[in-house]
Structure 1
Amino acid sequence: MTGPLTIRPMSAADWPAVEAIYRAGIATGNATFEAEPPSWEHFDAGKLDVGRLVTIDNTGAVVGWVAASLVSARLVYRGVVEHSVYVAPAVAGQGVGRQLVDAFISAAESAGIWTIQSSIFPENTASLTLHDHAGFRRIGTRERIALMTYGPWAGQWRDTILIERRSIDGSS
């Protein structure tokens, strides 16, 4: 990848590229329990506007995305979100994920979000390393949390590693 990257809010027009990147992650069997990307309408309804970002390369192509959803509708959890970050396979390992996560953290903290969490498959070492470097901590392993229904892990119980990052002062 050459040239500068731009990070900007995701729009409905980005959905075909976002969906393709999401689909590539799903195909690995190590990105999500979901077997198919949702429709744009379902994705849009389930994700917060805060920190819903895409990375654009110098050709104008979407090469990564990040988005989050609330972990609970209960008021006491209003500052706690679960995020997802996906990078196009062609640019994996080139810093796109780190730029997205950093931009997401900044947007989330500015919006009063004090805890960002996610569950990552232990086999997804790239994501675990990315999040380690971005200041997330590993809370623990959720053993045999769900039965995989598709792909290379179909029919197998999967573990996930719960990670979180708290805002610096914890009081956003």
Structure 2
Amino acid sequence: MTDSLTIRPATPADAAVIAIIYNHAVEHTTAIWNDVTVDAGNRVTWMQTRQDAGFPVMVAVRADTVVGYASYGPWRAFDGYKATVEHSVYVAPDAQGGGIGLALMKALIAQARADKLHVMVAGIEAGNAASIRLHEKLGFQRTALMPQVGQKFGRWLDLAFLQLVLDGRDAP
């Protein structure tokens, strides 16, 4: 249920809750292929780096509580990829399944279009059916599967790539 949900730019005051959401994903899921948790200071630095580079960091807020966040950044560091971004979206475990991820993704896609970007890429652990369904619902197309390129929790992980073409330009 998203009736009282607000999507807004993240601020340093949101960093502690963003860290909690991030750390839950690190410790309990294969959505983030890191083993190390972070603190609020780390998330402030991450936000500032993203925002200083012109990339959004958005939070979903319900009843004055951050319940999810999303961002995008460079797909690859070469000039030829400057119109392509890779994104991430995470929802607090007790708020999942209520449309928050969808609302965050719609806001990110709108921002990417406003920024005149051409392609948004999603790299998703291939077993994360809920995330893949969410992306497909938004028009993302599966483009690649890379078997066993990652590892976590003592097993190999496959990486699915999906992409959304944001505009109809024939040339950059």
Shorter-normalised TM range:
0.7 to 0.9
Partners of 1:50 and 1:107 within 8 A in 2: no
Partners of 2:60 and 2:104 within 8 A in 1: yes
Partners of 1:50 and 1:111 within 8 A in 2: no
1:7-46 superposed matches below 5 A: 7-38=7-38, 39-44=42-47, 46=49
Partners of 1:82 and 1:117 within 8 A in 2: yes
Deviation at 1:67, TM superposition (A): 0.8
Deviation at 1:125, TM superposition (A): 1.3
Distance verdict in 2 for CA 1:92–1:55, change over 3 Å: same
User: Which deviations, in whole Å up to 9, do the C-alpha atoms of 1:25-51 show, x marking residues without a partner?
Assistant: 222232111123441254235535433
How many residues were matched structurally? 166
Which secondary structure state, in structure 1, belongs to the residue aligned with residue 106 of structure 2? Answer: helix
**Distance in 2 between residues matched to 1:47 and 1:24, nearest whole Å:** 21
**Distance in 2 between residues matched to 1:75 and 1:20, nearest whole Å:** 34
In structure 2, the gaps of 5 or more residues are none
**Distance in 2 between residues matched to 1:46 and 1:128, nearest whole Å:** 28
Aligned-pair identity (%): 27
**Counterpart of 1:66?**
70
TM-score with structure 2 setting the length: 0.88
**Counterpart of 1:166?**
165
**Aligned alpha-carbon RMSD (Å):** 1.9
1:148-159 superposed matches below 5 A: 148=152, 153-154=153-154, 156-159=155-158
**Counterpart of 2:107?**
103
In structure 1, the gaps of 5 or more residues are none
Q: Of Structure 1 and Structure 2, which has the larger fraction of its residues in strand?
A: 2
Partners of 1:46 and 1:69 within 8 A in 2: no
User: Which deviations, in whole Å up to 9, do the C-alpha atoms of 1:51-96 show, x marking residues without a partner?
Assistant: 3110000x20000100112022322211111110001111111000
1:82-93 superposed matches below 5 A: 82-93=86-97
**Counterpart of 2:140?**
136
Partners of 1:50 and 1:108 within 8 A in 2: no
1:47 pairs with 2:50 = yes
TM-score with structure 1 setting the length: 0.88
